[in-house]
Amino acid sequence: MQVLDGKALAETIKEELRQEVDQIRLAGGKIPHLAAVLVGADPASEVYVRNKVQSCEQVGFQSTLIRRGSETTQEEVLEIVRRLNDDPDVDGFIVQLPLPKHIDEDTVNLAIRPEKDVDGFTPVNIGRMTLGLPAYLPATPNGIMTMLERYGIETEGKEVVVLGRSNIVGTPMSILLSRKGNPGNATVTLCHSRTQDMAAHTRRADILIAAIGIPEMVTAELVKPGAVVIDVGINRVEDASRSRGFRLCGDVDYASLEPIVSAMTPVPGGVGPMTVVSLLMNTLKASKGRLS
């Protein structure tokens, strides 16, 4: 089995980005600047945002982290969004999700200017992506597309099954892989919590993408021998034997699939680092003032 090493690939792409930033600096151009808004104290979000800021430093981007406590009001978050929308020095920004329950994520998302929406979550960018127009593509599905491309995994005419229909992973993933292009041109089935006989679908998949948020749900019985498996899940499972009291695992039962699949992403070190790289690539695009 081939391990699809997202960590190593992300490092390679970050090195390419770093060189491009060096060129921009030498030419006296604008250094890309990403801002991240983190509200509350969700432990996973803290880790993700820290990774994003550190990755910016690694490639030479400027970054700004705006942190607010969980008591912050929706109006205060909207005020931060408006300020970032209007700040000419900030090329793109993200509001880390989930937000505290008293803040409506849709309202905040709709306030983000599409030109600065480097997460690709706003209706304009999702619409542009769906039409095949230049757009900021959502980071996780785009990271998976980059991985498929760089590893030379053929998608044309293949049966792809996506598990999970979230707005930020499953749904855009199904759109990107069914579009014309390479990667693309796949026949895509989108399974979700109301799917009947999920195994009947997954066993037909040449490429299986699990983004359902259930720890180690995808076991060997659900997978066709020789399939390529992409695990998007990052689940914290209680484990008293670990110093942190939990272990991280994906939506895929890695050990049971290892003997039968042809290629698979590990967790951690698979899709996660590619997601961060996609965000950096979108930020570079934003700093060049181009949606493409």
Q: Is 204 exposed, middle or buried (0-12, 13-18, 19+ CB in 10 A)?
A: middle
Tell me: is residue 92 an annotated ligand-binding position. no
Q: Residues 53, 90, 94, 137: which binds ligand GUN (CB under 6 A)?
A: 94
CA proximity to 151, closest of 230, 249, 220: 230
Give catalytic status of residue 119 as yes or no.
yes
**Residue 166 in marked binding region:** yes
CB of 233 to ligand GUN, least distance (A): 12
Candidate ranges 94-102, 149-157, 258-266, 284-292; the one touching ligand GUN (CB under 6 A)? 94-102
What six digits make up the tokens of 110? 């709709």
80 is in an annotated binding site: no
Residues near ligand GUN (CB under 6 A), total? 9
288 belongs to the catalytic site: no
Q: Which of 97, 214, 220, 260 binds ligand GUN (CB under 6 A)?
A: 97
| 111 token code pair | 């306030």
Sign for the pseudo-dihedral over CA of 49, 53, 58, 59 = positive
Which residues within the stretch 116-145 sit at the binding site for ligand GUN (CB under 6 A)?
119, 139-140
Distances in Å between the Cα of 82 and the Cα atoms of 163, 171, 243 are: 35, 28, 41
Nearest to 120 by CA among 145, 152, 147: 145
Distance of alpha carbon 247 from its chain centroid, rounded? 21
By beta-carbon proximity to ligand GUN, the closer residue of 40 and 257 is: 40
**Choice between 155 and 282, CB closer to ligand GUN:** 282
Residue nearest to ligand GUN (CB): 97
Q: 18 a known binding residue?
A: no
Which position among 96, 146, 174, 202 is part of the footprint of ligand GUN (CB under 6 A)?
96
Closer to ligand GUN by Cβ: residue 118 or 186: 118
Distance CA 223, CA 71 (A): 45
- Closest alpha carbon to 68 in 88, 46, 89, 44: 46
Q: Return the active site residues.
A: 52, 96, 119
Question: What residues make contact with ligand GUN under the rule CB under 6 A?
Answer: 94-97, 119, 139-140, 168, 275
